[in-house]
Amino acid sequence: MAILFSIAIMASFLYFFHRRRSCKHPVLRDYPILGMLPPLLFNLWRIHDFSTELLKKHGASGDFLGPWFTKMNYFITCDYLNVQHILCKSFDNYIKGPEFREIFEPFGDGVVTADSETWKYFRTILHSLIKQRRFEAFVDKTVQKKVLTSLLPILDHVQKQGKVVDLQDVFNRFTFDNMCSTIVGHDPNCLSIDFPEVAIERAFNESEESIFYRHTVPRTVWKFQKWLQIGQEKKMTEACRTFDEYIYSCIASRREELRKFSKEEMEEAPFDLLTALITHERGCVHDDKFLRDGAFNFFVAGRETMTSALTWFSWLITKHPLVEAKILEEIQEKFKADQVVLGMEDVKKLVYLHGALCEALRLFPPVPIERKQAIKADTLPSGHRVQANTMILFSLYAMGRCEEIWGKDYLEFKPERWISERGEIIYAPAYKFIAFNAGPRICLGKDLAFLQMKMVAAAILRKYRFQVVEGHVTAPGHSIILLMKNGLKATIIKRQT
């Protein structure tokens, strides 16, 4: 027994020594057995600021080692030259990988998780659909209708009642209804005066929290929980079942409806994404799984960007009244006397509002962390060597707080940094302003997302201003999307006309 104990001690010592030698750029102290996990868990409540502090302390890049004999070993960085190298210059060497698809299980084989030819095929189809004028016109009409018939009436109702409202919940419901209409042609009316609980909307939220959880514990832990169907993994399974039932029922009913349309009638049919995917088949029939994965990926990409951006934007506006005044002045110049909601063509002229939204996305990117896996060994611009199969995490949140990219005033909410002397938008390279990804995987719906956010923000700010409840704590929640943990509780004040 003593011999076995001695062997175990010696093996542990040798393994610990091996880890120390192989980890040349540690960002945290490497504890025996537990690795660098303890300080990470201790700071989980402020994980994004904690990661930013670590990266600044260690020259923007370093190694994180999880518990022994687990796969929680990462190279982490916020160096924009490394990001440019990974996402743009050496794109083919850095993939999502099978582990990514396993963690992001609800996404299936959609454009977010797919690699190689599957990704190229999906992206080509989506690109051809999104760029069609007919699709943009459909989205424009859908957003205007939702703002007029739901968003503004509900804000007016809350204002008259003098109630406190969670603006993040309002935006979440608005974008969920909007994306359902845009993707599957069905409005579930989450945004109603009684604020109903909608199972499909809750399922999306729970699946995202479960994906975040899978990032914070060893794979063996969440795999074991999944096998036992307990804890967060049970929630994941139930959430997947709920939204799969919803999406597959939408697919079935849409296929049935489209069979009744003649070719001429199809030109006049609503151009939601699901209809577009089905009618785009051109001899190559996509199965329901393909359509399900496409719809789910578009749901998350479109919905979360708007909810997160509008929530943090609204909070920042309440903290910066001078910025709010400039936005309001610009909006009032563009609105006609009888116009309640600006259309997409109108909001393209709102340059200062665009800059303010860029600032919100810079400081609070909807997806705060991106993940890649190296196929072959490579040397990064920072000089760090990554081996084949190395997992790489880059912090978009930290990049938005990088002095080298944004200057000494990087913590200021300053829309002017996005506006040229001629009064035009300054477009920063995507690998620096990375809220919409960069390189070949840059978000296809970026321009459409900006137009929708400007339509919503302009319509609201013209009529109302917000006052955050005194003592309300705003902090990022535990999800793969940068939402506020406690929501954004505020009262609504009607502007004097």
Binding positions for heme: 443
- Cα–Cα distance measured from residue 175 to residue 156, given in angstroms and rounded to the nearest whole number: 18
| Residue closest to 167 by CA, chosen among 182, 185, 184, 154 | 154
| Token pair listed for 475 | 């902090």
DSSP state of 151: I
Structural contact between residues 344 and 449, judged by C-beta atoms closer than 8 angstroms: no
- Crossing angle of helices 321-334 and 446-463, in 10° steps, is 100
Cα gap 436→240, rounded to integer Å? 26
DSSP letter at 189 equals -
Helix (H, G, I), strand (E, B) or coil at 479: coil
Give me 329's structure tokens.
Answer: 């002045």
Amino acid at the residue 152: L
Q: Judge residue 492's burial from the number of C-beta atoms within 10 Å of its C-beta, 0-12 exposed, 13-18 middle, 19 or more buried.
A: buried
d(CA 45, CA 317): 25
DSSP output for 335-398:
S-TT-SS--HHHHTT-HHHHHHHHHHHHHS-SS-EEEEEESS-EE-TTS-EE-TT-EEEEEHHH
CA–CA distance from 195 to each of 198, 303, 494 (Å)?
9, 18, 21
Half-sphere exposure of 354 (CA within 13 A, CB side): 21
Sheet of strand 369-374, all strands in order from the earlier edge strand to the far edge: 61-65, 73-77, 391-395, 369-374, 94-95
Tokens, residue 277: 């995917």
Q: Are strands 73-77 and 391-395 parallel, antiparallel or unpaired?
A: parallel
Contact of 456 with 280, CB cutoff 8 Å: no
3-class state of residue 201 by DSSP: helix
Please write down the long-range contacts of 441-446, taking CB distance under 8 Å and 24 or more positions apart.
Answer: 441/87, 441/91, 443/301, 443/305, 444/123, 444/126, 444/127, 444/130, 445/130, 445/298, 445/301, 445/302, 445/305
